[in-house]
């Protein structure tokens, strides 16, 4: 599929509309937000900036925390896919094996099962961008009608194949990140 469907265009800001996103292949209009399914983060609101503590711009950076509401009845398992919509849907995180109920991943928590990100590692791929360049990250939550038998370390393609035909609901959360020069904060040093 080379285009983003209209139902998804309405749910995503222009910078996040990338036909390579997993939700383009796996989601549908009826399943988006089905049963009130919603994905949020206590670390940022939808459309806001990721804190540098979740990126390669800070030492000891970790994955951001995520929370979700109860999925629709019949959900057996949940999966999360995070992709950079600005970089050809570059995969930053593949997570599955999450219980099919309301839940959360804490900041820096190691999920039960993870797959290989764009660099081939089974962890949160820290956004590492040129100074001043803005990228848009799409956090995608999928509710599944069966538990996956996929082993940890699977590739994005393997996970997408396992999810295909089993997604009953989805939810999206979008964040941006624009790195700035070190020491460039919101304060002004007029007093010095």
Which pTM value belongs to this model? 0.92
Rounded Cα gap, residues 83 and 151, in angstroms: 21
Q: What secondary structure letter does DSSP report for 35?
A: G
Instruction: Let me know: does 150 contact 113? Beta carbons within 8 Å.
Output: yes
pLDDT digits (tens, 9 = 90+) for 75-127: 999 999 999 999 889 999 999 999 999 999 999 999 989 999 999 999 999 99
| 11 pLDDT above the threshold of 90 | yes
| 1 pLDDT above the threshold of 80 | no
Rounded Cα gap, residues 57 and 39, in angstroms: 25
Instruction: Let me know: does 89 contact 21? Beta carbons within 8 Å.
Output: yes
Q: Torsion angle, CA of 4/10/11/12, rounded to 10 degrees?
A: 60
């Amino acid at each position: 599929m080379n285009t983003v469907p209209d139902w998804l265009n309405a749910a995503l800001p222009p910078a996040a509309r990338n036909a390579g996103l997993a939700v383009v292949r796996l989601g549908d209009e009826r399943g988006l937000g089905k049963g009130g399914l919603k994905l949020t983060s206590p670390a940022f609101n939808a459309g806001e900036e990721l804190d540098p503590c979740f990126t390669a711009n800070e030492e000891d950076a970790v994955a951001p925390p995520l929370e979700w509401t109860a999925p629709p009845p019949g959900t057996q398992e949940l999966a999360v896919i995070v992709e950079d919509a600005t970089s050809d849907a570059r995969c930053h995180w593949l997570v599955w094996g999450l219980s099919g109920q309301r839940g959360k991943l804490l900041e820096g928590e190691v999920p039960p099962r993870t797959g290989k990100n764009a660099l081939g590692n089974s962890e949160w791929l820290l956004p590492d961008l040129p100074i001043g360049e803005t990228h848009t990250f799409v956090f995608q939550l999928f509710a599944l009608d069966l538990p996956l038998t996929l082993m940890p370390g699977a590739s994005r393609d393997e996970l997408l194949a396992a999810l295909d035909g089993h997604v009953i609901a989805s939810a999206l959360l979008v964040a941006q990140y624009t790195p700035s020069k070190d020491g460039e904060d919101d304060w002004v040093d007029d007093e010095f």
